[in-house]
Structure 1
Amino acid sequence: MTTPTDPSAERIVLDALGAALAQEPADARIAIAYSGGLDSTVLLDATVRIAGAARCVAFHIHHGLSANADRWLAHCEEHAAALGVSFAARHVDVRRDPGVSLEAAARDARYRALDALCDSEHVRRIWLAQHADDQAETVLLQLLRGAGLAGLAAMAPEYRPAGAAVTRVRPLLHVLRAQLEDYARARALRWIDDESNADTRFARNALRHHVLPQLAVHFPGFRDALARTAAHAAAAQRLVDELARLDLQAVASEDGQSLSRDALLAFGDERALNLLRYWMRALGLPAASTARLTDALRQLRDVHDDHGLRVDHAGQTLRSYRGQIYWEAGDSGDPADETALIERPVSELTWRGEPVWRLPAWRGTFVFTEVAAGDPLAAEPAAAIPATLLTNQRLRVRARSGGERMRCDAHGPSRTLKNLFQERGVPSWKRDVPLLFVDDLLLFVPLLGVNLTALDALHANRAKVVQRADEQGGAAERRIRIDWREDLLIA
């Protein structure tokens, strides 16, 4: 441990941040998570010294969990201004779901708010002040919780969560807290002390105040040893992730939303569980306990009736349908039944030959393509529609509300969309599609096609159509194919 007057602590901190700065794009702004505590105060001060105040922006999150939170916000804003650093803050409402600790809920809220601030300031990397003692605490906590490799890997020097746009950078991860204290004293820095850090009812605080001091006496190098453990676990995790990625390619649907049940069960239990964990991460689902995943695998092996499979996790339900397994939002009852119907605003367009109709709320586009006269599709009523049935018509798009019907077979009756989706094997998570209407007539449903009942009704109004066609100079000969194309990139 360094002494309060040891000048090497200042050099260690500045060198660590200098190495991190070298990895940043030239002249890129440096976002810093600034709570006002010792660690982030040192991070902010040292970053300003090596990068310059003009490149720095400090982000503060007001959790509202302490009576002193307003005072902390004022302190941080004042200190950032004294350094000449841009400053932004955001208030969060920490809400705890059942079984989630206050620490975890506050951490999740904090990271969401930091990501939002990064987005508003157009930065894609944020520096965090976690240090070597934090890393040791994290590894010990994960060990005591019986965590697997991912947990033991603890905090990475750089990490971007799945689906996130912001990379979290921890440039002080190999610096001791004692060295940060020495730096702060040498620089005469002022910081705030969060009173909750002394509350040993929190597991991390209990380790910090009661366990780590004893480890330091008997095992002086324990921090380095635990850091090596984290690095070994991270390396092993990368290997098992690569195996899971290859397995996912072999058993997943093209969009990755479902897995082949038989192919999954052909793996041994350990490999199948590894794949399930990786798949859930890829879908953005929170990690599930080993007990829950083991139960899911047991049900997949033992329950042969699709209706009998039921695994709930984080507001999702694992379902099986026609040999595929998938996660479905909420409690949707029968796995072959309707998915949860999502309300969206109604969109309208008076169609005058537009080739595309972009619908951001649906993350997709309706495409209207003219079919050549010699194309076989031109003779298929369900494949190509006379342009005069669409031109100057009020087209409307809305979400399913349940009970809609259409007729796909020229000689068959109308049937509910639910029955048609089931008959065609469309899994429930793909049934949330935009319905295209002409006024109040359901004309087209993605994955199902044109509603022949609506075509008959439009043809019955033929007199107006023919008149309109004459006015437009032969437009009646043109036929239009309608397609729905989902965005390739999910926001």
Structure 2
Amino acid sequence: MTSLLDPAAERIVLDALGGVLSSVPHDARVGIAFSGGLDSSVLLDAAVRVVGAQRCTALHVHHGLSPNASRWLAHCEATARTLGAGFDVERVDVRRRAGESIEAAARDARYRALDAMCMRQGLCALWLAHHADDQAETVLLQLLRGAGVAGLAAMAPHRVDGAAAIPIPRVRPFLPLLRAQLERYARSRALRWIEDESNADTRYARNALRHDVIPALTVHFPGFRDALARTAAHAASAQRLLDDLAKIDSEAISCEEGAALSREALLALDSARAANAMRWWIRLAGLPAPSAARLAEMLRQLREVRAEHALRIEHAGRCLRLYRDSIHWESIEERVPAADPQTTVAIKEPSVLIWRRQDVWQLPQWRGSLVFVPVAEGEAANDGQIDLNLADTIAEALLESAPLTARARVGGERMRRAPGAPARTLKNLFQEAGVPAWQRDVPLIYLGERLLFVPHLGLNGAFAGAQQPSGSRGARRRLEWRADLLMA
């Protein structure tokens, strides 16, 4: 492409990046979302000039949705190498949930992949090339969809996803700039970029706006981009106030350290505040915002449901459940054992461990691990009696005396909650302990053929405080079940 030197166009773009550079530590590296199109090509080129090539990493997401995807990948990698920037790629499989558009599914997959690459590369921020035209299109789309305040707020210049495991700031330095200004920069720098053929397909809503609606607005309402940008800013300000209110309400209605909500407290709020609090709680759980209709259905069922097990509302791979006035999210993949009334479970294969003083026994089929916590020496009381603190521990020698087996529940298993207590069914003990039915799909740990430990209930009282086979004192372990949240 022929270079048409345009110092003014270059200065506008470089100044936009200079405005966000102050938020980047002097020795930190930034990620550039790089599709290879015009906008991201300008962003990568300008970032290398402003930040330095060694501190820039181009991040490419290979969706596989286009037959040209592999060719685009080769172009992007070659461009990054030519500029001296780092390069990383993530291949994604775009899967749509029920009622979700391919555009939304691809966008969600893209952001997950970009966040993963930022974490892998140790980057301090993710820079995105969205500009004023993109912002105007987003606000228009949200208006036409009847979106709420959060939707009208559109894209923020700077945003941190609080639901992410390691929040990576997403920065959009080009939001004040027009696409035409980016194109002037690209031609001045003789940049080469790729054109996604799907951008011309007006079956997609955004493309229809871009090709059929925006040109007409430009003629009749030339200042519409600035007006829509102000609308987005006003909506963002209003959303911050709603979030502040949701934080206040969540302190009053949350329970179980924020993992659940009290139905009674939630429904004591008026409808608008209850919906706002639910949106906030859903966002904290890392789930996408539900539609207004889905949220209204959640609140309606919460008001009207009588039997706890009757509440089952699916959303984004999770299910809203109710147990003893507490509202929880359950993974749809989880199933309740056959001993419980609602449903059945496919029996998991047993796992066997010959214990040789390992600290952790990973049981991925139950999405968790059994941890053998060493007990500090000297935790025994005088006169040879076991300290109450040791009543839930077991001697290492006993653990080594027979194989440990993790088995699925089949129904009818019994154990003692304390030494000398009567043996009772696990179902009754779970109910007494307030363990929701969908959290009872846990491994039963046997020592030989005797039930030793049950997650959420603890050590079988028949073993509590038991000494090693020889009768002499020795090292002891406390058993703890730790759910692996990354597998949920």
Shorter-chain TM-score: which interval? Answer: 0.7 to 0.9
Structure-2 separation of matches of 1:114 and 1:393: 49
| Greater CA drift, 241-250 or 201-210 | 241-250
The residue type equivalent to 1:259 in the other structure is L
Please, which of 425, 435, 451 is the counterpart of residue 442 of structure 1? 451
Q: Please list, as runs of the form range in 1=range in 2, the aligned pairs for 1:129-278 lying within 5 A after superposition.
A: 129-161=129-161, 162-165=163-166, 166-278=168-280
Structure-1 separation of matches of 2:268 and 2:95: 41
| Kept in 1: contact 2:335–2:441 (CA 8 A) | no
Structure-1 separation of matches of 2:228 and 2:191: 30
What's the offset of the Cα at 1:383?
Answer: 2.2
What's the offset of the Cα at 1:291?
Answer: 1.1
Please, which of 335, 352, 355 is the counterpart of residue 350 of structure 1? 355
What's the offset of the Cα at 1:146?
Answer: 0.7
Q: Secondary structure at the match of 1:297?
A: helix
What's the offset of the Cα at 1:65?
Answer: 1.7
The residue type equivalent to 2:198 in the other structure is S
| Kept in 1: contact 2:129–2:173 (CA 8 A) | yes
Structure-1 separation of matches of 2:274 and 2:349: 37
| Kept in 1: contact 2:29–2:124 (CA 8 A) | no
Structure-2 separation of matches of 1:123 and 1:439: 50
Q: 1:384 to 1:486 in 2, by over 3 A?
A: closer
Tell me the equivalent position of 2:115: 115
Tell me the equivalent position of 2:413: 405
Q: 1:64 to 1:359 in 2, by over 3 A?
A: closer
| Kept in 2: contact 1:378–1:479 (CA 8 A) | no
Structure-1 separation of matches of 2:395 and 2:59: 55
User: Could you list the per-position Cα deviations for residues 223-252 of structure 1 after superposition, in whole angstroms to 9, with x for gaps in the alignment?
Assistant: 111111111111111111111112112111
Tell me the equivalent position of 2:404: 396
What's the offset of the Cα at 1:305?
Answer: 2.4
| Kept in 2: contact 1:363–1:486 (CA 8 A) | yes
Tell me the equivalent position of 2:311: 309
Structure-2 separation of matches of 1:140 and 1:105: 20
Q: Secondary structure at the match of 2:31?
A: strand
Tell me the equivalent position of 2:101: 101
Q: Secondary structure at the match of 1:59?
A: strand
Q: 1:8 to 1:360 in 2, by over 3 A?
A: farther
Q: 1:199 to 1:296 in 2, by over 3 A?
A: same
Q: 1:245 to 1:197 in 2, by over 3 A?
A: same
| Kept in 2: contact 1:328–1:339 (CA 8 A) | no
Structure-1 separation of matches of 2:315 and 2:16: 40
What's the offset of the Cα at 1:119?
Answer: 2.5
The residue type equivalent to 2:155 in the other structure is M
| Greater CA drift, 393-402 or 298-307 | 393-402
What's the offset of the Cα at 1:108?
Answer: 1.8
Structure-2 separation of matches of 1:366 and 1:133: 57
User: Could you list the per-position Cα deviations for residues 385-424 of structure 1 after superposition, in whole angstroms to 9, with x for gaps in the alignment?
Assistant: 5637626335637364443723225352341x33321222
User: Could you list the per-position Cα deviations for residues 94-142 of structure 1 after superposition, in whole angstroms to 9, with x for gaps in the alignment?
Assistant: 2223322111122122222222222222224221111111011111101
Structure-1 separation of matches of 2:336 and 2:303: 21
Q: 1:299 to 1:187 in 2, by over 3 A?
A: same
Q: 1:479 to 1:77 in 2, by over 3 A?
A: closer
Structure-2 separation of matches of 1:257 and 1:341: 27
Structure-1 separation of matches of 2:80 and 2:386: 68
Tell me the equivalent position of 1:367: 373
Structure-2 separation of matches of 1:316 and 1:36: 35
What's the offset of the Cα at 1:310?
Answer: 3.1
Q: Is the counterpart of residue 279 in structure 1 residue 287 in structure 2?
A: no
| Kept in 2: contact 1:406–1:453 (CA 8 A) | no
Tell me the equivalent position of 2:290: 288
The size of the alignment, in residue pairs, is 472
| Kept in 1: contact 2:42–2:185 (CA 8 A) | yes
| Greater CA drift, 362-371 or 159-168 | 362-371
Q: Is the counterpart of residue 82 in structure 1 residue 82 in structure 2?
A: yes
| Greater CA drift, 31-40 or 254-263 | 254-263
The residue type equivalent to 1:413 in the other structure is A
What's the offset of the Cα at 1:479?
Answer: 8.5
What's the offset of the Cα at 1:265?
Answer: 0.9
Please, which of 463, 480, 486 is the counterpart of residue 484 of structure 1? 480
Structure-2 separation of matches of 1:333 and 1:280: 23
Structure-2 separation of matches of 1:367 and 1:344: 25
Structure-1 separation of matches of 2:51 and 2:394: 65
| Kept in 2: contact 1:351–1:390 (CA 8 A) | no
Tell me the equivalent position of 2:325: 323
What's the offset of the Cα at 1:31?
Answer: 1.4
Structure-2 separation of matches of 1:205 and 1:421: 54
Calculate the aligned-residue CA RMSD, in Å.
Answer: 3.4
Q: Please list, as runs of the form range in 1=range in 2, the aligned pairs for 1:428-467 lying within 5 A after superposition.
A: 428=437, 430-431=439-440, 433=442, 435-453=444-462, 465-466=469-470
Q: Secondary structure at the match of 2:116?
A: helix
The residue type equivalent to 2:296 in the other structure is T
Structure 1 gaps of 5+ residues are: none
| Greater CA drift, 419-428 or 240-249 | 419-428
Structure-2 separation of matches of 1:211 and 1:343: 56
